[in-house]
A and B are shown apart, each in its own frame.
Chain A
Amino acid sequence: MEILYRLGSVLVAIAVGCGGVIGLFYLANYAINALPKPWNSRLLPWVYVSPALAILSAYLILPTIQTIYLSFFDGRSQNFVGLKNYIFAFTDPSMLVAFKNNLLWLVLVTGISVGLGLIVAVLVDKVRYEAVAKSLIFLPMSISFVGASVIWKFIYAYKPAGDDQIGLLNAIVVSLGFEPVGWLVERSVNNFALIAIMIWLYTGYCMVILSAAVKGIPEDVIEAAKIDGANSWQIFWRITVPMIRSTLLVVSTTVVILVLKVFDIVFVMTGGNQGTEVIASRMIKEMFNYRNFGRGSAIAVILLILIIPVMVSNIRRFRAQEKLR
């Protein structure tokens, strides 16, 4: 009986929800059509986009304004503290570690995943089993950050010397006669170990997009370069790379944005301990572990400001590319 009742209320909710939206549109449409001539055609598009705009502002713009507002208040959002939270964000030692690590992430993840993706895209272009090779490299892309972290936790697993090593890397290291390494606690390697996970995840993405761009280069341009006397290396640097330059930039900026937002890998693997903190994980900690809304919001605003220029350049380039088509 209970289940039927629930089902009934679900159906009613769907009917009311959909019907309400449809009714709203009809009503608005009717009202607009009743208006005098020049106005109805001008206002009509706005009537149709206004629900989307309303939802977007409710879920994106308002929280953004709220966050900016909170960032100027103390931990309990009661007293105005001016730039104190921002000063904290740029001077606190734990924050400086996070900034330093994020820079390392930015350079290594973007450089290596785009670079490897490009190399694979160009090489795979000449391989017989191209589809299989590409699928294998693209596969990690379908795994979530948390899922990937769990997989890599096993790869990096550490047992004290003398015990059986269940981690792939340490098993190899020990079988070669070395001491096992605490990949995630050793400060000299743990950041690189985390960065490797993201590279593994995103090389496939870079490769797929770049491979499409490489395939877009007309075959006879490459042949012309061969006849002009260019070797494979010169063709790569002087023809292929410049011709896919805009795609390279779009892929790089997309990865940059993803890296700036990275948090899950660090959260699952190390919880930000042993000097592996990044900006986003620091933000989560301040906000939800320490319940310091002011500091958490300030870090969020800094992240937002860092991402905006990359976003803008990405959108601009995308538009320019669209124009060329």
Chain B
Amino acid sequence: MASVTFEQVTKQFDDFTAVKNLNLEIADGEFLVFVGPSGCGKSTSLRLLAGLEDISSGQISIGDRPVNHLSPKDRDIAMVFQSYALYPHMSVFENMAFSLQLQGLSKTEVKKRVENAAAQLGIEMLLHRKPKELSGGQRQRVAVGRAIVRQPSVFLMDEPLSNLDAKLRVQARKEISKLHDELKTTFIYVTHDQVEAMTMGDRIAVMKDGILQQVDTPGNLYNNPVNMFVASFIGSPAMNFFGVEPVTDDGKTYLQLGQARIPLTTKLSGDRPITLGIRPENIYHPQYLPPDIAAVEIQATVNLIEMMGNELIVYLETPEKAEFVARLDPRVDLQSGQAIALILDANRIYLFDREQETVLF
């Protein structure tokens, strides 16, 4: 069990900076998820922590021990790889026992620990098989099993579910969360899938272009994104963005969005260009309005409708040709090409500096 600290960590590959000045503290026993698009530096950060890559500058500590110059085996970590990286010439038992044998544990101790871990994961009956005789889901469990027998102080997982089909992935997600509850060890998990991140992480670190954008709980990331990237990355379908102009009329400030006027409660400093963000779930059909919203009407034309059963995902555009997505009540009856009026909840809008892409308040 240990906390993990990244201090000013940078990783430079020739002329490409994979991770820039990463500062992050991960508490003991926390489940932290690195999430971001491919090439954002999330896997590199994990590999730096594992010791599979050398850091260019900065310091990484596990517990209160700096590990920059320790080899992977001395860092007291275990890792689950995306490809599982099982040893193909060894049986499941030997795969799981390998690290314990290298530690020099006695045969009986190795056997006991492997069997315990196998029982915990429900793979006791697979112990004598070779990896190529296993299904994808079973291999994934063996990879996790190989990590947990070592009882490391930090678990690293690099997209461990991305080779599973959708149904297995949901199940494996739950199992890993359960495992974390049982082991109460620090888990650091890398994924590009925001659903995995939201459902599993105590906290989520969102990265883009090697830079850490925001670290927060799933709820806070969703409700209080610090910039347009986080706002659009978390939530599906993604947040809609509109360019808006502040106008002052009768002493009150509004944001002009096409024909619609959205009243502003806070004063804007300066007059920089503004982008308004609103999530698809905060746009409603006038027939199905929840209580307690600040309704603003907006005109739009329907381009495409996706009936999901529990909801309608509707792709629309404003008369000014700004495209957006709304998530509507499934009882709404719409045809593509139809012109409709929809309701925005002005309480749930986000305002961003259009150039900096940072949130204004």
Contact = CB atoms under 8 A, between A and B. Distances in A.
Contacts of B79: 223-224, 227
A238 B89 CA distance: 10
A228 B73 contact: yes
A234 interface: yes
Contacts of A303: none
Contacts of A226: 51-52, 71-73
Interface centre among A218, A234, A238 (most CB of B within 10 A): A238
A238 B85 CA distance: 15
A245 B73 CA distance: 26
Nearest to A243: B89
Given A224-B79, A227-B79, A234-B102, A245 B72 contact: no
Contact of A243 (B82, B88, B150): B88
A225 interface: yes
B215 interface: no
A228 B152 CA distance: 10
Interface residues of B, number: 24
A230 B100 CA distance: 11
Contacts of A223: 50, 52, 72, 79, 81, 85
A220 interface: yes
Interface string B56-90: 00000000000000011100011101110111111
B315 interface: no
A228 B71 CA distance: 11
A181 interface: no
Interface in B273-323: none
Contacts of A220: 81-83, 85
Interface residues of A, number: 18
A167 to B, nearest CB: 47
A230 B51 CA distance: 14
B50 A227 contact: yes
A246 to B, nearest CB: 10
A63 B71 CA distance: 63
Task: Classify the interface of chain A: helix, strand, loop or mixed.
Answer: helix
Contacts of A97: none
Given A224-B79, A224-B81, A229 B73 contact: yes
B89 A229 contact: no
B83 A218 contact: yes
Given A223-B52, A224-B79, A224-B81, A229 B102 contact: yes
A218 B81 CA distance: 12
A108 interface: no
A227 B89 contact: no
Contacts of B73: 226-231
Nearest to B50: A227
Contact of B85 (A218, A230, A234, A245): A218
A228 B89 contact: no
Contacts of A225: 87, 98
Interface in B88-113: 88-90, 98-99, 102-103
A221 B143 CA distance: 11
Interface centre among A226, A243, A245 (most CB of B within 10 A): A226
B274 to A, nearest CB: 46
Contacts of A243: 87-89
Interface in A208-234: 218, 220-221, 223-231, 234
B102 A245 contact: no
B74 to A, nearest CB: 8
A229 B75 CA distance: 10
Task: Classify the interface of chain B: helix, strand, loop or mixed.
Answer: loop
Contacts of B82: 220
A242 interface: yes
Contacts of B77: 227
A209 B81 CA distance: 28
Contact of B89 (A218, A231, A234, A242): A242
A223 B158 CA distance: 13
Nearest to B90: A242
A201 to B, nearest CB: 31
Contacts of B103: 229
Interface string A96-130: 00000000000000000000000000000000000
B52 A228 contact: no
Contacts of B86: 221, 224
Nearest to B74: A229
Nearest to A219: B85
B133 to A, nearest CB: 13
A228 B78 CA distance: 7
A189 to B, nearest CB: 41
A221 B88 CA distance: 9
Contacts of B50: 223, 227
A228 B88 CA distance: 15
A268 interface: no
A152 B89 CA distance: 42
B132 to A, nearest CB: 9
Contacts of B81: 220, 223-224
Nearest to B79: A227
A223 B72 CA distance: 9
Contacts of B102: 228-230, 234
B147 to A, nearest CB: 9
A238 to B, nearest CB: 8
Contacts of B87: 221, 224-225, 239, 243
Contact of A224 (B51, B71, B85, B89): B85
Interface of B: 50-52, 71-73, 77-79, 81-83, 85-90, 98-99, 102-103, 146, 150
22 contacts: A218-B85, A220-B81, A220-B82, A220-B85, A223-B72, A223-B79, A223-B81, A223-B85, A224-B85, A224-B87, A225-B98, A226-B51, A227-B50, A227-B79, A228-B102, A228-B146, A228-B150, A229-B73, A230-B73, A231-B73, A243-B87, A243-B88
Closest 3 CB pairs of A and B: A228-B99, A229-B73, A220-B85
Given A220-B81, A223-B50, A226-B51, 4 more contacts: A227-B72, A228-B99, A231-B73, A243-B89
Interface of A: 218, 220-221, 223-231, 234, 238-239, 242-243, 245
